[in-house]
Chains A and B, each alone.
Chain A
Amino acid sequence: QQQVKQSPQSLIVQKGGISIINCAYENTAFDYFPWYQQFPGKGPALLIAIRPDVSEKKEGRFTISFNKSAKQFSLHIMDSQPGDSATYFCAANKGGNKLVFGAGTILRVKS
């Protein structure tokens, strides 16, 4: 029940395209759903986060869509750029406690 399942494992997108990464969870007590971005040789960094009281959150080219009934959330990267090439992790937690991370998605944006 603590798992967060992330897909796909890897993704190749053309420059200017839309990148979509999906996550699913089981624990309905989770109340915070962040996405982290990690570049090679660096630590993960918070990209965008959402709470279950809203269905969508947008920050620039990055959007989280949240479906509470399906227990799924996804990251959409609009107008993907080569600089977006990185590993993306979804995560979830309950009440400020430890984060449960997905397995990660390696995104490559081809120029």
Chain B
Amino acid sequence: DAGVIQSPRHEVTEMGQEVTLRCKPISGHNSLFWYRQTMMRGLELLIYFNNNVPIDDSGMPEDRFSAKMPNASFSTLKIQPSEPRDSAVYFCASSTSDTQYFGPGTRLTVL
């Protein structure tokens, strides 16, 4: 199994630009989670889906952030417009039970 796949691995963009992060969960997993990791705030859950349906988006910082899961094998996290304070490592994780399997992350830098 290839594990959770995220793209891109690194993204550098300028303030105000739209950023789209992508995730392919492990085949057969029915839950998908988006996290953000920073030194200051640690690992924060942004949103999670169960069977492609958003269950809890209370961690999404503001309306500039949106996430979709159009099918069981793909999810996106979009930031529009991006701001320097959005710079962080964004992780996607998937699970079929209690254990979550994390992807390698996308390091986002907003200049």
Where the two chains meet, the residues of A that have a C-beta atom closer than 8 Å to any C-beta of B are: 32, 34, 36, 41-46, 49, 89, 93, 96, 98-99, 101, 103-104
Contacts and interface: CB of A to CB of B under 8 A. Distances in A.
Nearest to B97: A96
Given A101-B43, A104-B43, A49 B99 contact: yes
Given A98-B45, A98-B56, A104-B43, A43 B105 contact: yes
Interface residues of B, number: 20
Given A93-B98, A96-B98, A98-B48, A43 B104 contact: yes
A34 B102 contact: no
26 contacts: A32-B98, A34-B99, A36-B102, A41-B104, A42-B104, A42-B105, A43-B4, A43-B91, A43-B93, A43-B102, A43-B104, A44-B102, A45-B102, A46-B99, A49-B99, A89-B43, A96-B31, A96-B95, A96-B98, A98-B48, A98-B56, A99-B100, A101-B42, A101-B43, A104-B42, A104-B43
Nearest to B102: A43
Given A93-B98, A101-B43, 7 more contacts: A43-B103, A45-B101, A89-B43, A96-B95, A96-B97, A98-B45, A103-B42
